[in-house]
Amino acid sequence: MFEEVARVNRTAADLNEAHRVSLRIGSISALSMSLSPHLVAEFQRAEPRANVRLSVMKRPEIAKDLCAEQLEIGITFLAERYPGVATIEIARRPLQCVVPVGHDLQGRASVTIAEIAAYPLVGYDPNLSTTILLKRIFKEAGVPYRPVCEVEQVLQAWSLVQSGIGVCIVEPFSAMEKFFPGACAVPLDCSETVPLQFLVAEGRSEWSMLHSFIEQSRKVLAAAAAAAP
């Protein structure tokens, strides 16, 4: 009798596992500490049968794995165009300036590029899309773009700002404040905005589980924007 009960339990477990649907997600590093895990958590609350794998990857790796059907979706911003990959804009937000706690610019409603130029600037690797965007913004403002140091990862920029090296400009989605309590973000007074983007293989965005993740993420971000001061 006990063997029969065990067999039934194993069968039930196998059936339950068979009904779980895998969703493989690649996220760029800047979004992997806060936003991407948050979106995954909210999605799994809404879709408990989903079995999600979240990996940290660079944009070209995401595009390659999407085309090879090793991923279902990539989470990024300022993405380039890749053959066979479609880009879906999920949200768009203004840039932010990160300053050390106690800095002259802390608590301001917004800051301008001209005001930022008065302080040492932490920049990014020259080949990154963020750097290309910043150079254009500084040029349009008539301000030289002269970072005192350059980093590859946004978390490195936050860390340097917290240490008092200077200030930096970041996209608004990485949300690193809770990891760096010695730094804070101030809105940047600039017409330029940054898109949060999902990358998918062309022709696959209507797959039900993928579509559910996209729509759930839109709702989460819209709710966060509505709740923001």
Residue 203 region by backbone torsions, left for phi larger than 0, else alpha for psi between -120 and 50, else beta:
left
pLDDT at 2 over 50: no
Give pLDDT, residue 7. 45
Start-to-end Cα distance in the chain: 62
pLDDT at 13 over 70: no
Task: Dump pLDDT digits (tens) for 158-216.
Answer: 999 999 999 999 999 998 999 999 999 999 999 999 999 999 999 776 678 888 999 99
Contacts of 55-58 spanning 24+ positions with Cβ under 8 A? 55/24, 55/25, 55/26, 55/27, 56/26, 56/27, 56/28, 56/29, 56/32, 57/26, 57/27, 57/28, 58/28, 58/29
Burial class (CB in 10 A: 0-12, 13-18, 19+), 223: exposed
Q: Are residues 138 and 163 in the same domain?
A: yes
Token representation of residue 83: 């053959």
Min mean pLDDT across 18-22, 183-187, 223-227 is at 18-22
Q: Are residues 12 and 80 in the same domain?
A: yes
Higher pLDDT, 21 or 73: 73
Task: Dump pLDDT digits (tens) for 50-92.
Answer: 899 999 999 999 999 999 999 999 999 999 999 999 999 999 9
- What is the CATH number for 187? 3.40.190.10
Instruction: Find all residues with CB under 8 Å of 190, minimum gap 6, and list them.
Output: 94, 95, 112, 113, 137, 141
pLDDT at 20 over 80: no
Give pLDDT, residue 5. 37
Domain count of the chain?
Answer: 2
* pLDDT band of 3, cuts 50, 70, 90: low
49: containing domain: 2-91+195-227
pTM of the full structure? 0.85
Q: Are residues 178 and 208 in the same domain?
A: no
